[in-house]
Chains A and B, each alone.
Chain A
């Protein structure tokens, strides 16, 4: 089964440019999370979607950051304009809210991440 798919895996851009990171959650999952990871701050929760609706965006650092989820199979995280301090690894994770078969774990499934470098 395909896991959470993120693109691009690596992005190098110059300060001031627009950056768009993409995420395809696992089919059937109705919750989606964006995280950012840096050495200084560790893993930070940026935004949480449930059924394509943003529920909590309190972790989004500034207005330069925006996230959308136009349908159940796609989400974007956009930074405009980008700054060097935005350099980080951005992870997308998805989760089902349904117990399904067996014991419900509430497990988050993470993608491989998008490593962003802003020069």
Chain B
């Protein structure tokens, strides 16, 4: 079973920041948090990952709380092409990437 909880859907205005929350209260000390997204019916695409420090790359920022029980993915300037299902994953061991139900983000013009 997935070890994360996400809201089923969110809307965001184009050009605004999209903040997608994720709860992972049972995360273990050595488990990473990964974010993927799936646009329409394409294969999921990696966005970012982290252990305990905040992370930023060209796509997004990841904020992990100090107790590591939750995190937030931030898309700083959402565009219509960011409309997708976003998955927050806690990776157990070296290969258990267990996807939950994700958050369906709709970016509105």
**Closest Cβ–Cβ distance, residue B62 to chain A (whole Å):** 12
Once A and B bind, how many residue pairs between them come within 8 Å at the CB atom? Answer: 50
Q: Which residues of B contact A4 (CB under 8 A)?
A: 43
A42-B100, A42-B101, A105-B49 as given contacts; A110 in contact with B95, CB under 8 Å: no
Tally of contact residues, A, Cβ under 8 A: 25
Report the Cα distance A109→B46, complex, angstroms.
8
Pick the residue among A91, A106, A113 that contacts B32 (CB under 8 A): A106
A42-B101, A105-B49, A106-B49 as given contacts; A56 in contact with B42, CB under 8 Å: no
Interface residue tally on B, bucketed by range: 20 to 34
**Once the chains bind, are B101 and A48 in contact (CB under 8 Å)?**
no
Between-chain CB contacts (< 8 Å), 19 pairs: A4-B43, A35-B99, A42-B99, A42-B101, A43-B44, A48-B95, A56-B95, A91-B44, A93-B44, A105-B46, A106-B32, A107-B46, A108-B44, A108-B46, A108-B97, A110-B42, A112-B43, A113-B42, A115-B41
Residue ranges of A at the interface with B (Cβ–Cβ < 8 Å):
4, 31, 33, 35, 42-43, 45, 48, 50, 55-56, 89, 91, 93, 97, 105-113, 115
Residue ranges of B at the interface with A (Cβ–Cβ < 8 Å):
32, 34, 36, 41-46, 49, 87, 91, 94-102
